[in-house]
């Protein structure tokens, strides 16, 4: 992977995916049909879209992702968590962003599908319906091996983007993330997500 | 001769903008063909997702791939760039990558123009002297200070530039008081912490606003007009003459050579996807080094079977970057003196300091004089997502999550500031670092793409490692903790040069000393492709200066 120091340092690479694993999972049909179709919809989304309408996640997959994001950023009385900042709305929008790495989209969906399957196999219920302690246990177990850690890394990246990006992207609701960490938004702020802003300039 | 324009410029970045401004000011008619869209000051925001996380101002590699060749155990392997982590694209829009630069401006030093003569040779590196010297470029460096707008202050130090004017036309930007602390610490270490000039206006000028001190120059477009992009500073005045036309969303497919051996026109895809043509008396290519080489190679024909202006076989060869390395230190607020703490808590982003005491050094093994480079200090730019990711991934074992992540985020944002330095070291010209045309991969226009072989000389990393160590000594002395370092000998892909080196020998160079193609009388290459060596600084000031220099030659060739 190239060192993308560029004009200033990025300590964390922008992409984490284990390409071959993810591709194998996709072609082996291990994905639920919903997620596979969702992925195809997301990847075909045109750049020049006047309104950025995110593809809707399958409800069960969405609830697994929301629960996992809540484990990444739990809610507290004096500090917002993933649900207050709209992290799953953000993720849904990001899945429709043509500039988000396709492998990262696949990774986050595949891992969530697997987590959901484990919950059903082990406890006979949805991941999101489990008590927090069981969710935590499953997530820890799931992210122990290389691929699971890859999935968790991608999920953390999306969730932190949701926390601190401009609210036009669906997260950081009313600037709650910025307020919590004392961040003053740099100006000028965007009026719209980049796809809308740049669509007007495309040929 | 009846042509559409006097000059056709392909590419509207630093070099293209400078040539357009100079020629239209002198009464010549100019058309500039730009592949990307036309974005204005009002289109730029400090949207971290767009500018930094998604890189939306550069082409999408899915529709505009390039091919990268890297050396693995089984030899050279070529792969299309999507999904590899490699990305050679930079800003694609009117003004090009100059819209997104940080604008830390440095002049090359006299020996940079003659590294072959001035220093012992390095095996496996095809270092060539430039056919011009510092004195040839000095007046143009000075011209750029006014034309583009450089703010700064001259100080005295061992490697201070010889200047024809006393000081910069614009006063330096307001600095964070930490800069003074860096000056004092360096002085105690026997080093010179030098103020770095910025291509950023400190006062409003010529219809452009001044810096608004967001601290977000690199990767971001400038909403105030303060940054000296070729769009804000140069194309604006070119357009105002009424003699310059900029055609955005126009991708040049081929340059057409006539039977007389002169270029007769340029074929491009207009915004509707139709093929259009334009002709001029003189043509200037300035697409950044990789794409310039690609265009020349793709414009091969019966008279130039190996590529336009490529009788030497040198087009695409000796691709250069800057060798990148960096380090980051944490300055915990509670541990700082009240004075430093106050400085760090102030919303003053600019440090603007560099150390060039190691611009040359003595190799401790051979005792030979070697070219070193530049260590440039800055506060970590205020990108909150990037800061959060650094905090989350600060351990060895995967990311933090849950309450430990939240507490770590609070600690980072409330109690830490981060001081960074970047290293700039020469990327040595290498026989396995070059651009060719890919035989099969095509872009969305159906055109064969550039194939970039990234071979690197091991000396690059040795120099970067040496400079990294010197910089870390300074960070440590400043009280920096938890220092994170990176030196992988990797190329900084935003600083790209070489591929059409200039020189006096037509067998060993593509361009003459005025950047005119040896083989094609009405073709010039104005971007950093001309450089036989690319220096150990960001080269943009040199690109601007040289482009103004050769514009004078172009004007003479037009007969005025």
B300 contact A CB<8A: no
Q: What is the per-residue pLDDT for A202?
A: 83
Q: What is the per-residue pLDDT for B94?
A: 98
Q: What is the pLDDT of residues B28-56, one digit of tens each?
A: 999 999 999 999 999 999 999 999 999 99
Q: b or e along B370-404 (b: 16 or more beta carbons within 10 Å of the residue's beta carbon)?
A: bbbbbbbbbbbbbbbbbbbbbbbbbeeebbbbbee
A5 contact B CB<8A: yes
Q: What's the gap between Cα A63 and its chain centre? A: 12
Q: What is the per-residue pLDDT for A35?
A: 39
Contact A114, A150 (CB under 8 A): no
CA distance B349 to B356: 22
Identify all chain B residues contacting A100, using CB atoms and an 8 Å cutoff. Answer: 54
Contact call for A181 and B484, based on CB within 8 A:
no
Q: Say how many CB pairs under 8 Å bridge A and B.
A: 185
Residue B79 parent element (H or E): strand B75-80
- State the complex-level ipTM: 0.95
Contact B119, B363 (CB under 8 A): no
Q: How far is B60 from chain A (nearest CA, A)?
A: 7
For residue A192, give the 3-state DSSP assignment: coil
B214 contact A CB<8A: yes
The answer for B 86-105 residues in CB contact with A (under 8 A) is 86-87, 100-102
* Token pair belonging to A95: 């899945």
CA dihedral (B485, B487, B492, B493) in degrees, to 10, reads -100
CA distance A108 to A95: 10
Contact A41, A52 (CB under 8 A): no
Q: What is the mean pLDDT of each run of 10 residues along chain B (560 residues)?
A: 93 98 98 98 98 96 96 94 92 98 98 97 96 98 98 97 98 98 98 98 96 98 98 98 98 97 97 97 98 98 96 98 96 96 95 98 91 98 97 92 98 97 97 98 97 97 97 98 95 95 98 98 98 97 98 94
Residue B371 — φ and ψ, nearest 5°? -80, 130
A3 contact B CB<8A: yes
Q: What is the per-residue pLDDT for A24?
A: 34
Identify all chain A residues contacting B39, using CB atoms and an 8 Å cutoff. Answer: 201
Q: Please say if the pLDDT value at position A34 is more than 50.
A: no
The answer for B 332-361 residues in CB contact with A (under 8 A) is 347
CA distance B93 to B90: 10
B70 contact A CB<8A: no
CA distance B177 to B179: 5
The answer for A 181-200 residues in CB contact with B (under 8 A) is 181-191, 193-194, 197-198
Identify all chain B residues contacting A147, using CB atoms and an 8 Å cutoff. Answer: none
Contact call for B54 and A194, based on CB within 8 A:
yes
Task: Pick B392's closest partner by Cβ from A5, A156, A188.
Answer: A156
């Amino acid at each position: 992977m190239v060192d993308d120091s560029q004009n200033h340092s990025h300590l964390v690479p922008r992409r984490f995916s284990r390409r071959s694993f993810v591709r194998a999972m996709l072609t082996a049909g291990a994905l639920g049909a919903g997620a596979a179709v969702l992925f195809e919809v997301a990847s075909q989304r045109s750049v020049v879209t006047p309104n950025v309408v995110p593809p809707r996640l399958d409800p069960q997959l969405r609830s697994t992702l929301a629960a996992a994001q809540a484990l990444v950023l739990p809610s507290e009385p004096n500090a917002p968590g993933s649900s207050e900042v709209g992290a799953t709305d953000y993720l849904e929008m990001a899945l429709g962003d043509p500039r988000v790495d396709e492998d990262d989209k696949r990774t986050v969906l595949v891992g969530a599908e697997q987590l959901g399957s484990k919950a059903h196999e082990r406890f006979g219920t949805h991941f999101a319906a489990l008590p927090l302690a069981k969710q935590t246990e499953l997530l820890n177990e799931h992210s122990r091996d290389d691929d699971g850690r890859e999935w968790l890394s991608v999920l953390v990246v999306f969730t932190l983007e949701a926390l601190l990006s401009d609210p036009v992207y669906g997260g950081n609701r009313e600037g709650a993330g910025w307020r919590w960490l004392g961040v003053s938004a740099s100006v000028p702020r965007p009026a719209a997500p980049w796809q809308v802003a740049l669509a007007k300039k495309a040929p | 001769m009846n042509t559409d324009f006097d000059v056709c410029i392909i590419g509207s970045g630093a070099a293209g903008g400078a040539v357009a401004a100079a020629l239209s000011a002198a009464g010549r008619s100019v058309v500039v063909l730009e592949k990307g869209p036309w974005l204005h000051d009002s289109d730029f925001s400090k949207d971290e997702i767009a500018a930094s996380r998604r890189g939306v101002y550069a082409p999408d590699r899915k529709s505009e791939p390039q091919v990268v060749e890297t050396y693995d155990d089984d030899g050279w392997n070529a792969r299309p760039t999507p999904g590899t982590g490699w990305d050679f694209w930079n800003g694609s829009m009117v003004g090009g990558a100059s819209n997104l630069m940080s604008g830390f401006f440095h002049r090359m030093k006299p020996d940079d123009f003659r590294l072959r003569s001035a220093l012992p040779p390095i095996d496996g590196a095809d270092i060539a002297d430039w056919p011009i010297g510092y004195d040839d470029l000095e007046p143009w460096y000075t011209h750029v200070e006014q034309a583009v707008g450089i703010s700064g202050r001259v100080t005295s130090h061992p490697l201070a530039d010889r200047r024809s004017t006393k000081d910069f036309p614009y006063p330096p930007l307001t600095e964070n008081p930490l800069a003074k602390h860096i000056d004092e610490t360096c002085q105690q270490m026997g080093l010179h912490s030098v103020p770095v000039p910025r291509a950023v206006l400190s006062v409003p000028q010529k219809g452009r606003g001044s810096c608004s001190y967001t601290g977000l120059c690199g990767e971001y477009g400038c909403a105030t007009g303060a940054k000296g992009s070729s769009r804000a500073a140069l194309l604006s005045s070119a357009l105002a003459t009424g003699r310059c036309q900029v055609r955005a969303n126009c991708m040049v497919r081929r340059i057409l050579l006539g039977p007389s051996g002169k270029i007769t026109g340029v074929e491009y895809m207009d915004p509707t996807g139709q093929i259009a043509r334009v002709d001029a008396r003189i043509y200037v290519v300035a697409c950044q080094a990789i794409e310039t080489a690609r265009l020349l190679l793709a414009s091969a024909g019966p008279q130039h079977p190996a590529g336009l202006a490529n009788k030497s076989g040198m087009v695409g060869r000796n691709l250069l970057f800057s060798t990148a390395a960096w380090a980051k230190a944490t300055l915990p607020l509670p541990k700082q003196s009240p004075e430093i703490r106050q400085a760090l808590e102030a919303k003053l982003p600019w440090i603007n300091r560099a150390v060039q005491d190691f611009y040359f050094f003595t190799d401790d093994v051979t005792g030979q004089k070697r070219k070193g480079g530049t260590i440039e200090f800055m506060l970590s730019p205020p990108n909150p997502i990037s800061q959060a990711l650094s905090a989350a991934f600060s351990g060895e074992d995967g990311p933090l999550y849950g309450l430990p992540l939240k507490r770590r985020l609070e600690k980072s944002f409330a109690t830490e500031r981060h001081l960074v330095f970047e290293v700039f070291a020469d990327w040595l010209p290498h026989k396995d670092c070059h651009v060719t045309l890919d035989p099969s991969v095509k872009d969305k226009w159906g055109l064969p793409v550039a194939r970039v072989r990234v071979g690197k000389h091991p000396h690059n990393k040795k120099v970067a490692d040496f400079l990294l160590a010197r910089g870390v000594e300074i960070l440590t002395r400043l009280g920096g903790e938890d220092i994170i370092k990176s030196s992988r000998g990797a190329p900084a892909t935003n600083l790209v040069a070489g591929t059409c080196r200039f020189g006096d020998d037509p067998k060993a160079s593509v361009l003459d000393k005025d950047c005119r193609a040896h083989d094609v009388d009405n073709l010039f290459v104005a971007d950093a492709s001309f450089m036989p060596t690319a220096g150990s600084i960001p080269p943009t000031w040199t690109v601007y200066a040289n482009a103004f220099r050769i514009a004078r030659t172009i004007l003479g060739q037009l007969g005025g």
